[in-house]
Every structure is written in C-alpha cells, then in structure tokens.
Chain A
C-alpha cells in the first residue's frame, strides 16, 4: 500500500498526471491541503487518493456475513390491509406474513435474498427446520416410493436457473403510492436444486399419474395440486442466490414452479405424492372459482412488466436525460420484447433488454428518455416468446366482454400495464389514480 502511494506521488511530481491533478484540484480536500502545507508544497493529491471517509469498524458481523452500507436504506414492507395477527406467534411485523420487496430500489434482475418478497400459507409462521433431520418423501403412483435426506437430494444432478415468483395478490390499484405497494409481491432469484422430473424418474413415475400434490412442513401443512406435465420445469430447490434458502424462502427445501401463481411454490417441502386426480387440497381451495375465466386466469402468469424508475413517489430533479428502467417477465416463457411509452400509450418505442431474456424470469429493460419538463404518462409493455402481449386494463375488460370502468379489477393474476404520471415538477404518482 505504502509503495503504491509513493509511486503515485512520484508520478505526480514528475508531472505525468499534471493535467489530471489540475482537473481534480477543485475537489481537493482540506486534509490533503493540510498535509501538503510545507514551504515547497507538492502538487495537491486528487481526493480519491486520500482517505476522507470515516472507517467502518471491523466487527465479527462484517467479517462473517458482510453488512451493507448504512447509507442504503432500502427495506421490505408489510403489505397493506393484511389482517393483524391475534397472537404473538406471527413474525416480527406482528402481522400475517405478506412482505413486499422494494422494487423502486431494485438494480439488475435479481432480488437479494434478504429483500425477496415473502408470503406464507394462511398466515403461517416460519418453521425453524433442522436440515439434518429434514426429509422429503415421494410416494403415490410411483414404482419405488423414496424418502430423501437433504444430503441425498444434493447428490442428484442439479440445475441452477433464474425464475420469478409472484403472488396472485400482486394486483396494482389506484390507492398504491409506489411500485413496492403495487408490484412488490414479485421477485426474481437464482435457484439451485433438482428437477422434480429427476426425482420422479428415480422413483419410477407411473403413467396413471396425472397430478402431483406438494406439501409443506409448516403448521398448516399447506398443500397444492399441480399438473404432472409441469415436472420438467419444477425445481426441488435448496439454494438461492449462492447460498442455502433463507427460512422465509422455505429452508431447507422448497418447490419453484416457474410461471405458476405464487402459492404453488411450496415452501419447507416435506412430501410429494403422484396422484390420478385433482385433489382440491387446502391451498387449491383458494383457487376454487365459480367462473372458468377467473379459475383459468388465476393459475399462471401472463406477460407483465413494470417501470421501477421513475416510479410512484420518486422525483426527477431536473429536465434532461434519464434511463427509464424496469422489469419484464412472463409465466409463458421468455420475454421477447419490451416497449416503453412516454405519452400515455399513444406511441411505443422498443426498450433495450439488459441481458439475454431467460424463461419465466425477470429481464431488466431500459429506455433513454430526455424529459422536457412537461407532464407525461409513462408505461411499459412486454411481448413474450409465445407472442402474447401485455394488455391494458381496458383491453382485458373488452376481451372478457365486460364494461370498463376505472374500478375494473382484472380477474386472476393481474398482468396489465401500469402507468406512472410525471408532473411538471418531476414528481411521479400512480397513473391509475
């Protein structure tokens, strides 16, 4: 370190960086000036070469797991309107667990594990499972029922895939102030585990099996029935973003069911059973509907996107260039295209995709926009790789033959376009309001 610094000084003395040093002169710190107040002063050091910031003390926490900057304040919130728990057995929010991720601050395409949204079955608390004692049983219509320890699950060939998980409650309305409230029960992460098809192969899945039931180990043993032809994509996942799942994400093992509504992603997985008919289990009961439309549209997610910047409650400080950015995804497959409108949907421009879109995963998009200081309504829409285009609320109403009113609530999983209003002072508000 010392030698590096002296060599830099030598360079400065030699004038090799004279131009750079002069340019940096305006930001030279008082400390640097004080250090160089000798009668024959050295050329001032550029501020980046001087340690101006107070030190973050080394603690066991900083060493062991790492701690983000205290300047970064982004946190999850409890979803509004959720019933308050009657007893202390609920989480530290004191509420039924339904926690929204701060999408307005999201960067890139994944949510940090600590910020990933979380919802649980029927207000379940989070079980504290010893992975050395946990097992997953597969039985039902299989030739060889099997029970696997965590260590055994990790001996199977693994997959590592990016997928979004989104709760059916991720349903924006006019009362939401920001994108965390309107879209915060959706997150994207890297998941590692074994394909369910690999495990069923091991157990000898029988042709008679048309569905499988997945059951969690939480207090209500939440269970869902899923179609057997989904097993080629369903992951029995034990890893998330480079480490074991967090307890709120189903530690030590969960299902990831790409494209399906959130509750199918059974956490704290303890049992999978191959069956020949739809079971209508506890979690399935929540999908019971009178109409085919609401039943079908509440099952999986269509193409969807959301602008995360600039979004509700944010403010553009001055006119000029900004990157309008957000996330796009589809439960049908990969994102093919994202378009952005800055005139309330009258015209659309294709946005740049920031990485190769992956199946049933978030894709970050961006669109450079020179804000003229005027009032605008900005919105994004995505087209997925089976050609389905994200609709407006009006389009959904029309397709369903329902009269559109501002209070129209799209049935099932709401994948409609979300507008943000930008006022002439740069403030951003909910465009549905």
Chain B
C-alpha cells in the first residue's frame, strides 16, 4: 500500500515537464532589467532621488494633478478621489471613515499602509493620460506634498529613497493582509460558503 502511494509521485517526478528546463529565452540586459519598476514595501527597488512638499505643490499644478484632484487635494472636480479625506474629516478621525464608502481605494495617502505604495502608485499611474512620464525626483516631491497635506510629515521634510519606507502612515495597523491561499483550501477559515 505504501509503495502504491509513492508510485504516482515517482511518475510525476520522472515526467519531462517537471524535470526539464529548455534553455529558451535570454538573460535580460541591464536596460531591460531597468524596466523593472517593482518596489518592495521595504523600499528596495526605489530609485535614488528626493523631493519636498514645496516642490511637490508646484508640480501638483504644473503636471495637471489639480485639474482632477482639486485644490489642495480636496477633490470634487472629477471622479478622481480626494487626497485628504472626506470633507469635515481630519487626522483625528478613523482613516476608514475618512474615505468614500469605507473601502479602498480611497484617499491614497490616508489608506496606504506604507509610503512606498504612494510613490509607486504615482510612478505607475499618474498623471492620467501621461502615465510614467514623471521623473523620480518629481515623484518624491509629489509624495512629500501629499504627506504634508495630510500632516503625515512636516512641510520641510525631504523625502528620499532611504526614508520613504520608514514613514509612519495614518492607517497604522488598521488593515488586514490577504488570506493565506492554499490549493483546494476554503476561502476563509470557519466560513462555510
């Protein structure tokens, strides 16, 4: 019986698809590897650079952010979310009460568990219509501006690749990780459906 159980495993291990590599593809060049814009929550992968809220405030207008997200990040212009939380709320209120509907994505600097995420989001997806056009220093500056608007960091704070991941964010620990996923497992422990 024991042997019978092992046989399928031995057969699997012997199958070419699992055992073999094919020597297909090439090692990426330095230029190709530079297209990797993935950034770890630890800050690993952030390009060198820096910026301040004052620089960011200028860019916020120049780059057209204000046209969608409103004056001082107050929103209300287009479907783009506000960046400072709902009207009448402030840093003293629960972060989840400060965003529309109580679900992410809302005001990014308020809900992001890590400052790196704010940087990454701007770097990938902003400004709409001209995504990926911002230089690293400009992304640091816009990040610093959003943090200052939300009183996360002081106005004169210089944000750079070494301190961004350490900044304490308003959401703190008030968020949950996605569940541990296992093949054939249930969606949530103890949940019958």
Contacts and interface: CB of A to CB of B under 8 A. Distances in A.
A307 to B, nearest CB: 19
A402 interface: no
Interface in A62-104: 83, 86-87, 89
B40 interface: yes
A252 to B, nearest CB: 16
B186 interface: yes
A390 to B, nearest CB: 7
Nearest to A280: B117
Interface in B1-54: 16-18, 20-22, 24-28, 32-33, 35-42
Interface in B89-115: 96, 102-105, 108, 111-114
Given A144-B27, A279-B41, A415-B193, A295 B179 contact: yes
B193 A390 contact: yes
Nearest to A388: B193
Interface string A321-346: 00000000001110000000000000
A116 interface: no
A352 to B, nearest CB: 24
Nearest to A213: B38
Given A122-B125, A147-B32, A201 B21 contact: yes
Given A202-B25, A221-B37, A273-B36, A278 B174 contact: no
Given A122-B125, A386-B184, A388-B186, A278 B178 contact: yes
Interface stretch (A16-24, A171-179, A223-231): A223-231
Interface in A389-433: 389-391, 395-396, 399-400, 412, 415
A219 B24 contact: no
B108 to A, nearest CB: 7
Contacts of A147: 25-28, 32
Interface residues on B, range: 35 or more
Interface stretch (A31-39, A48-56, A284-292, A311-319): A284-292
A280 B27 contact: no
Contacts of A333: 184
Interface stretch (A150-158, A183-191, A366-374): A150-158
Contacts of B16: 157
Contact of B113 (A280, A300, A390, A399): A280
A221 B183 contact: no
Contacts of B27: 144-147
B24 A155 contact: yes
B188 A293 contact: yes
Nearest to A294: B103
Nearest to B79: A83
B24 A271 contact: no
Given A157-B17, A221-B125, A296 B38 contact: no
A288 B113 contact: yes
Contacts of B112: 280, 285
Contacts, number: 184
Contacts of A227: 180-181
B28 A399 contact: no
Interface residues of A, number: 77
B112 to A, nearest CB: 7
Contacts of B186: 332, 386, 388
A155 B22 contact: yes
A146 B28 contact: yes
A106 interface: no
Contacts of A271: 35-36, 38
A290 B41 contact: no
B45 to A, nearest CB: 9
A233 B183 CA distance: 9
Interface in A116-172: 122, 135, 137, 139-140, 144-149, 152, 155-157
Contacts of A157: 16-17
A278 B177 contact: yes
A347 B80 CA distance: 48
Interface in A227-269: 227, 229-230, 232-233
Contacts of A396: 193
Contacts of B188: 292-293, 296-297
B124 A399 contact: no
Contact of A289 (B120, B124, B175, B193): B175
A310 interface: no
A300 to B, nearest CB: 6
B22 A286 contact: no
A348 interface: no
B21 A332 contact: no
Interface string A187-214: 0000000000010011010000000010
Interface of A: 83, 86-87, 89, 122, 135, 137, 139-140, 144-149, 152, 155-157, 198, 201-202, 204, 213, 215, 219-223, 227, 229-230, 232-233, 270-271, 273, 275, 277-282, 284-297, 299-300, 302-303, 331-333, 386, 388-391, 395-396, 399-400, 412, 415
13 contacts: A87-B129, A152-B24, A202-B24, A219-B125, A278-B177, A281-B38, A281-B117, A282-B125, A288-B111, A288-B175, A297-B188, A386-B184, A391-B192
